[in-house]
Amino acid sequence: MSVRRDTAMKLADYQPPAYQISELYLEFELDDHRTRVTAISQVQRQTSQDAPLYLNGEALELGGVWVAGQPYQPEMAEGGIILQDLPASFELKIETIIDPANNSSLEGLYKSAGAFCTQCEAEGFRKITYFPDRPDVMTRYRVRIVADKQAYPYLLSNGNLLDQGDLDGGRHWALWEDPFAKPSYLFALVAGDFDLLSDSFTTRSGRDVTLQLYVDKGNAYRGQHALDSLKKAMAWDEQKYGLEYDLDVYMIVAVDFFNMGAMENKGLNLFNSKYVLADPASATDDDYFNIESVIAHEYFHNWTGNRVTCRDWFQLSLKEGLTVFRDQQFSADMGSPAIVRLKQVRVMREHQFAEDAGPMSHPIRPEEVMEMNNFYSVTVYDKGAEVIRMLHTLLGEAGFRQGMDLYFKRHDGQAVTCDDFVQAMQDANDVDLSAFRRWYSQSGTPQLTVGTTFEPQTGRFSLSLTQLTAATADQHEKHPLHMPVAVEILDGANNSVQKHTLSVTQEKQQFDFGPFDNEPVTAILAGFSAPVRVKQIQSDAQKQQIILHAQDPFLRWDAAQSLISQYLHEMAGSGQTSVPDVLIELFDSMLRRVDQDPALFAEMLELPSFETLAQQNSPIRVDGLLDARDCLKRKLARTLTDQWQATADRISTGAYQYTQQQAAQRRLRGVCLAYLALSNAPGVESHLHQLYLQSDNMTDTLAVLKACQGSELALFDRLMEDFEAKWRHDSLVMDKWFALHAGKERNDCLSKLQILMAHAMYSINNPNRVRSVVGTFAFYNPRGFHAIDGSGYKFLTDYLLQTDPINPQVASRLITPMLAFGQLDESRQDLIRHQFLRLLDSPQLSRDLYEKVRKSLR
């Protein structure tokens, strides 16, 4: 079958559905290859005249269709069926047969290890039955599941369990009802055998909620952190937004085969097991952090996504940008706000800026989509969250909350648009947000150019801000945006700091301050108050003043990163290998201050990543930047060896606990060890080996392995063998091992990758494995991936051709590092273009990859 790949959907073409479905009864007779699905819908026409009813359907065997009890022959159409001449209101029955065991796309109903599970967002429900698979059709579901009792003792779906019972032939059944109308993308079903952890939560209005966590057998001891995180998220949403949970049971199921992080299906979340399972021996501090944040994210969707959902998929950021912002607020409240913020800024600068600079650039509310799965993007999610954060900054905490209250009051139970959201914010605060709305329709990263003038006679200090958004691949014309620019003005004379949040709306604006006795220093974009690049010429001394005296931790970190980046770019451009003294002095002074704030200094002592540096200059000097970065790391390691050693030695954390203090200490030690491993200091290898042997937790173990990975120490291979022997049966831990190997610089990189892919634990069908090997190589092994002979690009393309027919969503994410080809030098551009042509030549290329490759070659 040939796929029609070229058709794009347009936001401008939106039409409300001609039919609504108020109730749906679904029955599943589960079978590996022939699962029978019976769907009985109560259908109501929404238009005054007769209209055809279009039902989406993919990869379905049609058993039969009955309209009002009578057999009916539908017209088979592209991607679905069409029914004509229908009554205004009727019962529609459809039988389909599906093959879950052969569904490797992990969309629709599929098998993960031994369990049946579903993934319906965005358009997976159409792989289960013929249905209007669009979010503005909201339906109450009743679901009956029939399966073998021994193999599938747990039968789960959304909502509340109404009844269950046994059948002949060793089978049993369960009947579920979800009292809330929902779009089809929130439907879920699970059938399998699990370990079950139970707990409970009483909402503030007194509803007792049963919490259930289903994990692979033998993994119950790794579930407590996820359950604790869930309870924290439930309490937080009540306290922060007045939002309570609304069903009697909240279920989370962890599965090993999952395309994304997790899914917020009503009352029955499905999770990638990597965002559920943790114990100190097998999970790092980062894993603990991520679990808490993803559990919260899915929980928060119950209101922002489920109770109020999206009218159409162009509105995805309505639920995702807002829910990411909420999970970011939650993470900040649970731990260390500054460190959480730095993580988010890194995502924006490393990944979102790159997306906006490439062929897939799109506004947070896209206007044209070929394959919806391609728009679960850093733009829709993370830039979407930055846009919500700007609203929060402009309206203030109380104003934002009023807007949220009004949004729920107006739209609970509805499928709405981003405009509806902004309108609620506007009406609740009686402000004009019409200029702000442009963030939803304009793509690209604005550049904010900063100029300053100082008049010694009057003491007046002026700041001029000029914003410019360059044309992007999708959109030529750009306009000024409304953004909050938070600044700190540092008066060196008396060490005072003034803070202002400027509301910028025009292309060019001037702001006056003073009087000052001497020219002050301005630090722009406190807290990264807007998702923009800042261009400002500052002396080393001015940056150093910000590093030492700014109040906002982000500004201090950013000034340090900017000082380092500037010299790295200079070294990369000139090919010089001598490291300026100012950098050595900077690190020396930071090392002397680490005790003031170990968490922040741990971040400040890390060099900007290659990915961040690559976003700062075009064309990207791949080799020059990598060499300069290596050279600086070595020089810092060797010049400051004693300080790295002393700082690492001072740290003692005691028995592992996931607390902010401990995590900061471990992170700081990890940074020091990475430098020490490059230091040539006598005994460093045996010191690292000792630390590895002594470690009682995965964070410290991985810190040693990472330090060795970034060095030439032979210890790396020895420890990796030991690690593999210990963990070879644990797939989640082995992902860390795979990633360490795939990210290591080495001459025989590609043959190493082949060996990894032949490992007993590797499987091309498992997205986590593919990401840890191929993903790590393509995203985080720049020397190997950007090899000037093109072998890295060819390797990735070969793999895409292999994996695309199995799981197009995974393939489509893996291609991302090649999409930045426009910023590379000419020869690398040619090499990548050649690989794109190979992909286009493949007759069966998925719509997912086709959309990205086509846009790249435009």
Query: Nearest approach, Cβ of 123 to ligand 0A1 (angstroms)?
Result: 9
From 255-263, 357-365, 667-675, 715-723, span contacting ligand 0A1 (CB under 6 A): 255-263
Q: What is the 3-state secondary structure (H, E, C) of 791-853?
A: HHHHHHHHHHHHHCCCCHHHHHHHCHHHHHHHHCCHHHHHHHHHHHHHHHHCCCCCHHHHHHH
| Active-site residue, 298 included | yes
Q: How buried is residue 694: exposed, middle or buried, by Cβ count under 10 Å (0-12/13-18/19+)?
A: exposed
From 256-264, 473-481, 728-736, 739-747, span contacting ligand 0A1 (CB under 6 A): 256-264
- Residue with smaller CB distance to Zn ion, 273 or 803: 273
From 91-99, 260-268, 709-717, 725-733, span contacting ligand 0A1 (CB under 6 A): 260-268
307, 136 Cβ separation under 8 angstroms: no
**Residue in 629, 619, 703, 625 with CA at minimum distance from that of residue 669:** 703
Query: Nearest approach, Cβ of 29 to ligand 0A1 (angstroms)?
Result: 25
Tell me the residue type at 651: I
- Residue with smaller CB distance to ligand 0A1, 249 or 263: 263
By rule CB under 6 A, what string of x and - marks binding of each residue 622-661 to ligand 0A1?
----------------------------------------
Work out whether 119 is an interface residue with ligand 0A1 (CB under 6 A): yes
513: phi then psi, degrees, rounded to nearest 5: -135, 165
Q: Which of 37, 211, 263, 600 binds ligand 0A1 (CB under 6 A)?
A: 263
Work out whether 264 is an interface residue with ligand 0A1 (CB under 6 A): yes
CA atoms within a 13 Å half-sphere pointing along the CA-CB vector of 357: 25
Q: Which of 25, 245, 325, 376 binds ligand 0A1 (CB under 6 A)?
A: 376
Contacts by 724-732 with C-beta closer than 8 Å and gap 24+? 727/282, 728/760, 728/761, 730/282, 731/256, 731/761, 731/766, 731/768, 731/769, 732/273, 732/274, 732/277, 732/282, 732/768
Work out whether 382 is an interface residue with ligand 0A1 (CB under 6 A): no
- Residue with smaller CB distance to Zn ion, 180 or 723: 180
- Residue with smaller CB distance to ligand 0A1, 261 or 459: 261
**Residue in 621, 614, 362 with CA at minimum distance from that of residue 473:** 362
Among all residues, whose Cβ is closest to ligand 0A1?
A: 260
Work out whether 679 is an interface residue with ligand 0A1 (CB under 6 A): no
What would the two tokens of residue 136 be?
């503005």
Work out whether 807 is an interface residue with ligand 0A1 (CB under 6 A): no
457: phi then psi, degrees, rounded to nearest 5: -65, -45
What would the two tokens of residue 539 be?
């002396």
Query: Nearest approach, Cβ of 205 to Zn ion (angstroms)?
Result: 26
- 276's enclosing H/E stretch is none
Q: Which of 136, 256, 320, 371 binds ligand 0A1 (CB under 6 A)?
A: 320
680: phi then psi, degrees, rounded to nearest 5: 70, 5
Query: Nearest approach, Cβ of 809 to Zn ion (angstroms)?
Result: 15
Cα–Cα distance for residue pair 58/98, rounded to 1 Å: 10
With both helix axes pointing from N to C terminus, report the angle between 698-709 and 715-727 in degrees, rounded to the nearest 10.
140
- How many residues contact ligand 0A1, by CB under 6 A? 15
89, 53 Cβ separation under 8 angstroms: no
By rule CB under 6 A, what string of x and - marks binding of each residue 283-312 to ligand 0A1?
--------------xx--------------
From 254-262, 572-580, 627-635, 657-665, span contacting ligand 0A1 (CB under 6 A): 254-262
Query: Which residues, 287 to 326, sit near Zn ion by CB under 5 A?
Result: 320, 323
Q: Which residues, other chains included, contact 751 with Cβ-Cβ below 8 Å and sequence gap of 6+? A: none
Query: Nearest approach, Cβ of 587 to ligand 0A1 (angstroms)?
Result: 39
How far the first Cα of the chain sits from its last, in Å, is 26
Query: Nearest approach, Cβ of 381 to Zn ion (angstroms)?
Result: 7
Q: How buried is residue 700: exposed, middle or buried, by Cβ count under 10 Å (0-12/13-18/19+)?
A: buried
- Residue with smaller CB distance to ligand 0A1, 209 or 380: 380
- Residue with smaller CB distance to ligand 0A1, 260 or 463: 260
CA torsion sign, 655 to 660 to 664 to 667? positive
Q: Which of 373, 445, 697, 776 binds ligand 0A1 (CB under 6 A)?
A: 373
What three-state secondary structure class fits 484?
Answer: strand
- Residue with smaller CB distance to ligand 0A1, 327 or 519: 327
Query: Nearest approach, Cβ of 106 to ligand 0A1 (angstroms)?
Result: 8
Query: Which residues, 95 to 114, sit near ligand 0A1 by CB under 6 A?
Result: 107
Q: Which of 121, 216, 287, 848 binds ligand 0A1 (CB under 6 A)?
A: 121
- Residue with smaller CB distance to ligand 0A1, 417 or 809: 809
Instruction: Quote the radius of gyration of the chain (alpha carbons, Å).
Output: 28
Catalytic residue among 298, 320, 350, 355: 298
Query: Nearest approach, Cβ of 316 to ligand 0A1 (angstroms)?
Result: 9
Asked if the bond preceding 515 is cis, omega within 30° of 0, the reply is yes
CA torsion sign, 598 to 600 to 603 to 605? negative
Instruction: Give the full edge-to-edge strand order of the sheet including 53-56.
Output: 53-56, 80-83, 75-77
Query: Nearest approach, Cβ of 853 to ligand 0A1 (angstroms)?
Result: 20
- Residue with smaller CB distance to Zn ion, 285 or 320: 320
- Residue with smaller CB distance to Zn ion, 272 or 643: 272
Query: Which of the listed partners (ligand 0A1, Zn ion, none) does 552 bind, with a CB threshold of 5 to 8 Å by partner kind?
Result: none
Work out whether 261 is an interface residue with ligand 0A1 (CB under 6 A): yes
What would the two tokens of residue 95 be?
């039988």
743: phi then psi, degrees, rounded to nearest 5: -90, -5
Query: Which of the listed partners (Zn ion, ligand 0A1, none) does 263 bind, with a CB threshold of 5 to 8 Å by partner kind?
Result: ligand 0A1
Q: How far is CA 782 from the centre of its chain?
A: 21
Work out whether 262 is an interface residue with ligand 0A1 (CB under 6 A): yes
Would you name the residues annotated as active-site residues?
Answer: 298
Residues forming the site for Zn ion (CB under 5 A): 320, 323
Residues forming the site for ligand 0A1 (CB under 6 A): 107, 119, 121, 259-264, 297-298, 320, 373, 376, 809
